[in-house]
Amino acid sequence: MKTTFRFCVMLVGLASLPALILEQALAREQAMPSTQASNLSCQPPSTAPVATASQDQFDQYSWQMFIALNWPAQDGQRGDPDCAKQLGDPGYTVWQTYKTVEEIFLPRGANPGPWNTPQTAKSLGIINIAALKNSTQVNAVDQAVGGWLIDQAGNPTYYDISANETSYDYIVNNNFYNADVVSKANNINFPNGVIEVKSSWRILTPNDNASHYLTMLARVATFNDQGQRSGVTEAYLGLVGLHIITKVNGYPQWIWSTFEQIDNVPPKELVHGQWVDQPTPGTTYSYFNPTAPLVSLNQSPCDWQTQGGQLVCVPKPGTTFQTPNPLNRVTPIAEITNGVNTNYRTNPDVQKSVLKYYQLITTQRPLMPDNPSNPLGQPTPSLSANVTMESYIQPNSSCMNCHSMATPVKSPYKADFSYMFKFANAPVGKTTKDEE
Amino acid sequence: MSILNGPRLNFWGGIRTDVSLPNNSPTIPYDGNDEWPLFDLTTSTLAPTAQSYTDDQLNNMINAPDGDYYTAGGWNHYGQHVVDMQNALISSQGNPGSISTTGDMVGQPVYLLGSVDPVTGQGPVSGPMMVDLDPTSSTTTQIFVGGLQIGGNSDIQLLIRSNTVCSSFDVAGRVLLPAKMDAPGSFHASGTFQLTFPLSSIVSWNQNSSGLRSIIQAPGATGIVLRFVMFEMCPTMTTEQLDADYAAGRYTPNPSIGRVIGTLAPAFADEPLNCQPGRQLVNQSTGNAGYADLGGNGYLSIDMVNVIPKQTFRAVRDDITSPIGPNANYGPVTITAGTTELATLDPTNRFLFDYYVYGGIVDLPLTANQLQAVQTAALAINAPGKVAGTTLQATESTYRVYADQRNVYLEDYPNGLSITLQVRYLGGPVPKATEIDLQAAAPAVYDEPQYWDFLDFPASLTVNPGQLAISFPVTVKAGSAAQAGFVALTYTANGLPSSGYFTSFRKYAQTDFGIPAGTHITWELMYPNVLRFHYLAFPAMSRYIPLNQPDAVMGAKNPILARTSDAYKGTTLFMPVVRSMSPCQRALLRAYLTGEPWQPPQ
């Protein structure tokens, strides 16, 4: 498919689409006549498998969630699917209509208002993947400026964080958008039905096949070669990673699902007892460089320096902000999960959508969610890593362990596994915003 | 006294302990060298030879298959140190002589809990933590606990919140066969722990429960004591499974799993908190021990849970909740006091055959003659048979020395401490002047004097007739500030090895790391001296806060500062969990996180 395109300024509101996206959607419709999806649900699963269920049952739960969240959204109703539409139909997906942290946590801790406000243009400024997940800043004391991830084309990876209406209502009803309030809260406990999403995006270039990505036009921050913000531009983005966390009855520790675009890094195969990268011939991977020395893989680009009382990522000697950070996958996707991926990706309705170019990495959940002796519940599997988001900490990456440390800004109290409150602002006084 | 004489709740089930292993030895096999120096475990730093390797290289070396048995770093590199009981259900309750398998608490689960956050009051968010004061030795370990719960979360029968620590005793033979299996040699052993919770730590209890009431409201009760033994332990995964798991980058924790048998009872004043009272009988083949006491109720109660070993390890490796089954059958078991027979128990007797249902405790009714014999003669347990080349001969340690102080961190006692020894003869006060000899020695591989010769203590003590306890001071030798290591102080009464008891000590070094006072501490100064050891030895910690990532560490500044502080010391939340970070290391870490000029602690 020809991938020449032009940038357009995104119009405010839900209805307008860049010409290219519409063009591609129409091309898909013409190539594959739409048929009614019969075995995929536009609604997310309301219950999760029992704790003793097998990995593949949880993986199916993840895929059902992924499909429902990627269903075309209802016009004029944020967070709801349009079940009359087909998977892959043009328009924002359900999760793309969730409210982002910028929409939830307004300057000066202002009330962000009702849920169903018109959607604004997408603007992505977060480039740090932050070893301490989600914690991009707000107040200096808790600031953790993470390293960036530069793809093989030399462009940064952008991140966005959003939450569904149930989460939003809980935050608003408790005034937790106000840092002064949430920093004193010692009883944060999200209700069941909460969904939080963290997405990662790369800039699509003429060398990329945009039809293999969920795409989005957005305003993005630009950076100089030292990684300092230099301005903004419009960019055509492709989704490379999606974390989905769900608070479900019976799982006070939540359920943790993560997906990647299939061309991020090659799969691993077991060869003579060793797991080795097996690139598919002819595939250009977004983050993998077959000639990169092994010791250079999965290494943070940062030479951390204290500047103005804060840790700042400075490119290591001999590198710049544009230097690609080569990655591979440390933990191969489990065979059982690959089986579920195959089942869903070959589903005729999924085949009609861009979701066929995505794969589940794993579903982490507590094996014993109700064990008084082990309140963390025994994260299973013990590791879970999305190469685009836990790039440099893959051997030690556990969603549940890390998120169990989550607190609001300047607070010693637990935040129920959510780092969202790091974005809360206080009504008065100086707050340090992320300059990105 | 306590579990022997008071009303009881007995339980049994499974237990898991998830200890990380690489710090058990300062060396690993590598590059043809069986003892390649990796760590200095006395200072919690890397050995000089290891320092030039990258973290990834050292990690791979630790995880490399041994070729024979697990990996170079042991069977569990990713342990989180949590101890939890699995399906540990109350199986019997009642008073000595009338223990029943029916009752209002029978069937309820028993849980040990982690600590509530001492600052925020939230949680628990973690569980009890197993921590070796001396990771190089295998004589004793600790479990830090934050409370106890009977009943599930939706139907709590008893809830206790209390921070305490227990240590293992009688780490000795408990399972005879097989001779070897795909597990560390400790699969043969058991470890027994005792905890005491004050009555004031009870948060709530089911006041309609006669079983609980009999304990909580026992006349004279000052608390609740829990004695439990873990045994038949082995790593969950075999060598083959673990090697495949690590090769696939899954790095799954490999906790040891096994059996637990326990008893809850009232605690009384003048009883040790963490050490079983009573008259000690030692199995001469296995070295394991039982404890006996005369109650005022006419019974001799004997905690025999460990006296008779289990013949064979369970058939299904990961089945820790099926019935434990009887111990080895040596034939009829005869209990005597001197030459007086107290009882002979047939192997089919329910207190032997189903011993685990009853906490392993046997209550023997005594006649007046038998009572007289028990009060004046040594106890013994014998049986005629042989099993796997062993016999059942348990003899009383006529003199017994014991103390609550089992594992001591000297940093907690900057001015020294007082150790109180209980001394008994046939369970009562000594009848004549008794000399207690004290000896200090290296408990394990760090046997150079610099690593253990730093205590000042009396060479001997004299216990007067009728005296039950004796205290003495232990201080650190002048001029030993720079020394770090481990020492075991052993006490022996009248030269009798059977009377012996020991206390383990850990000492940290006073050091400025070669960094001048007033220096601004950078990552390059802090990481090699403080966090690098912990990153490599306990990677599970990095699943919470990646310890090799400056941004993550600084981003977690507040929780790190909090949880390395003294406020958290007695809790399961103290960081690092394994208490291997010295006060000087904590100070260096603090200086890095806060930006304050370096001031080495004095």
Structure confidence by residue, pLDDT tens digits, A62-91: 999 999 999 999 999 999 999 999 999 999
A389 CB-side CA count, 13 A: 31
B511-519: list long-range contacts, CB under 8 Å, 24+ apart: B511/B43, B511/B482, B511/B582, B511/B584, B511/B600, B512/B584, B512/B598, B512/B600, B513/B584, B513/B588, B513/B600, B515/B588, B515/B598, B515/B600, B516/B598, B517/B597, B517/B598, B517/B599, B517/B600, B518/B597, B518/B598, B518/B599, B519/B597, B519/B598
* Cβ–Cβ under 8 Å, residues A178 and A423: no
Terminal Cα-to-Cα distance of chain B (whole angstroms)? 45
d(CA A370, CA A57): 19
Q: Are A373 and B253 a contacting pair at CB < 8 A?
A: no
Per the prediction, chain A carries an average pLDDT of: 86
- Token duo for residue A359: 């794969």
Among residues 412-471 of chain B, which lie with CB inside 8 Å of chain A?
none
Among residues 307-326 of chain A, which lie with CB inside 8 Å of chain B?
309, 311, 313
**3-state class (DSSP) for residue B24:** helix
Chain B environment of A305 (Cβ under 8 Å): none
d(CA B296, CA B489): 35
- Average pLDDT, integer, range A278-289: 96
Among residues 385-424 of chain A, which lie with CB inside 8 Å of chain B?
392-398, 401-402, 404-405, 407, 412-414
pLDDT digits (tens, 9 = 90+) for B543-602: 999 999 999 999 899 999 999 999 999 999 999 999 999 999 999 999 999 999 999 998
Q: What pLDDT shows up at residue A5?
A: 27
d(CA A340, CA A299): 31
Give the residue ranges of chain B where pLDDT is below 70.
Answer: 1
d(CA B520, CA B115): 35
Q: Rounded to whole angstroms, what are the CA distances from A161 to A124, A132, A203, A259?
A: 10, 14, 18, 15
Q: What pLDDT shows up at residue A319?
A: 96
**Helix/strand/coil (H/E/C) assignment for every residue in B347-377:** CCCHHHHCHHHHCCEEEEECCHHHHHHHHHC
Among residues 185-214 of chain A, which lie with CB inside 8 Å of chain B?
186
**3-state class (DSSP) for residue A265:** coil
Q: Rounded to whole angstroms, what are the CA distances from A396 to A259, A279, A401, B252, B454?
A: 18, 24, 10, 11, 39
Q: Are A374 and B248 a contacting pair at CB < 8 A?
A: no
Chain A environment of B549 (Cβ under 8 Å): 131, 300, 392-393
E strand or H helix at B271, and its extent?
A: none
Residue B415, C-beta contacts closer than 8 angstroms, at least 6 positions apart: B475
- Residue A136 pLDDT more than 60? no
Determine if the peptide bond prior to B235 is cis (ω within 30°). no
By C-alpha distance, the chain A residue nearest B128 is A373
- CB of A227 within 8 Å of a chain B CB? The answer is no
Strand residues in B3-125 grouped as ranges (E): 8-17, 27-30, 33-37, 39-40, 45-46, 83-95, 98-100, 110-113
Which of B114, B540, B550 has its CB closest to that of A311? Answer: B550
Residue to test with chain B: of A277, A367, A374, most B Cβ within 10 A: A374
R_g of chain A, CA atoms, integer Å = 21
Q: What pLDDT shows up at residue B404?
A: 95
DSSP B568: G
Which of A186, A395, A405 has its CB closest to that of B559? Answer: A405
- Token duo for residue A111: 């009330």
Determine if the peptide bond prior to B178 is cis (ω within 30°). yes
Residue A335, C-beta contacts closer than 8 angstroms, at least 6 positions apart: none
Chain B environment of A404 (Cβ under 8 Å): 125, 544
Output b/e per residue, A75-113; b: 16+ Cβ within 10 A. Answer: eeebbbbbeebbbbbebbbbbbbbbbbbbbbbeebeebe
* pTM attached to this predicted model: 0.93
**How many Cβ contacts (< 8 angstroms) between chains A and B?**
144
Which of A145, A274, A372 has its CB closest to that of B551? Answer: A145
pLDDT digits (tens, 9 = 90+) for A207-255: 999 999 999 999 998 999 998 888 899 999 999 999 999 999 999 999 9
Give just the sign of the alpha carbon dihedral B370, B371, B374, B376: negative
Q: Are B248 and A404 a contacting pair at CB < 8 A?
A: no
- Residue A18 pLDDT more than 90? no
**3-state class (DSSP) for residue B410:** helix
Residue A104, C-beta contacts closer than 8 angstroms, at least 6 positions apart: A112, A163, A168, A171, A177, A420, A423
Query: Of B356, B412, B292, B308, which is closest to residue B4 (Cα–Cα)?
Result: B292
* Cβ–Cβ under 8 Å, residues A202 and A238: yes
Among residues 280-309 of chain A, which lie with CB inside 8 Å of chain B?
295, 300, 302, 304, 306, 309
Which of A141, A331, A373 has its CB closest to that of B250? Answer: A331
Type of residue numbered B213: R
- CB of B482 within 8 Å of a chain A CB? The answer is no
Chain A environment of B82 (Cβ under 8 Å): 373-374
Chain A environment of B557 (Cβ under 8 Å): 141
Q: Are A130 and B551 a contacting pair at CB < 8 A?
A: yes
d(CA B314, CA B306): 17
Give just the sign of the alpha carbon dihedral A18, A19, A25, A26: positive
Instruction: State the ipTM, two decimals.
Output: 0.95
Chain A environment of B252 (Cβ under 8 Å): 381-383
Distance in Å, alpha carbon of A40 to nearest chain B alpha carbon: 31
By percentage, how much of chain B surpasses pLDDT 70? 100
Per the prediction, chain B carries an average pLDDT of: 96
Chain B environment of A267 (Cβ under 8 Å): none
pLDDT digits (tens, 9 = 90+) for A337-380: 999 999 999 999 999 999 999 999 999 999 999 999 999 999 99
Angle CA B240–B245–B249, to nearest 5? 145
d(CA B455, CA B489): 9
**DSSP letters for A296-346:** GTT---EEEEEETTEEEEEEPTT--TTS------SSPPPHHHHHHHHHHHT
Q: What pLDDT shows up at residue A128?
A: 66
By C-alpha distance, the chain B residue nearest A392 is B549
Chain B environment of A398 (Cβ under 8 Å): 543
Distance in Å, alpha carbon of A19 to nearest chain B alpha carbon: 41
- Average pLDDT, integer, range A9-27: 35
Which of B83, B546, B551 has its CB closest to that of A311? Answer: B551
By C-alpha distance, the chain A residue nearest B550 is A304
- Token duo for residue B125: 């968010």
Residue B241, C-beta contacts closer than 8 angstroms, at least 6 positions apart: none
Type of residue numbered A45: P
* Cβ–Cβ under 8 Å, residues B125 and A404: yes
Which of B111, B114, B539 has its CB closest to that of A396? Answer: B539
Q: Are B249 and A131 a contacting pair at CB < 8 A?
A: no
Residue to test with chain A: of B543, B547, B557, B565, most A Cβ within 10 A: B543
- Average pLDDT, integer, range A42-63: 97
By C-alpha distance, the chain B residue nearest A393 is B546
By percentage, how much of chain A surpasses pLDDT 90? 76
- Residue A141 pLDDT more than 70? no
- Token duo for residue B175: 């399972």
- Token duo for residue B76: 């569990």
Query: Of B91, B89, B87, B88, which is closest to residue B101 (Cα–Cα)?
Result: B91
Among residues 28-57 of chain B, which lie with CB inside 8 Å of chain A?
54, 56
Give just the sign of the alpha carbon dihedral B372, B373, B378, B381: negative
* Cβ–Cβ under 8 Å, residues B464 and B562: no
Which of B542, B551, B554 has its CB closest to that of A396? Answer: B542
* Cβ–Cβ under 8 Å, residues A420 and A104: yes
**DSSP letters for B289-313:** EEEEEE-TTSEEEEE-TTTSPEEE-
Query: Of B204, B224, B200, B229, which is closest to residue B214 (Cα–Cα)?
Result: B224
Q: Are A143 and B555 a contacting pair at CB < 8 A?
A: yes
**Partner residues linked to B194 by β-bridges:** B227
R_g of chain B, CA atoms, integer Å = 24
Q: Are A144 and B554 a contacting pair at CB < 8 A?
A: yes
Which of A370, A376, A393 has its CB closest to that of B546? Answer: A393
d(CA B32, CA B25): 17
Which of B111, B555, B559 has its CB closest to that of A373? Answer: B111
DSSP B332: S
Q: Between B329 and A10, name the one with better pLDDT.
A: B329
d(CA A234, CA A8): 8
How many other C-beta atoms can be found within 10 angstroms of the C-beta atom of residue A250?
Answer: 14
Residue B2, C-beta contacts closer than 8 angstroms, at least 6 positions apart: B225, B227, B265, B266, B267, B268, B271, B277
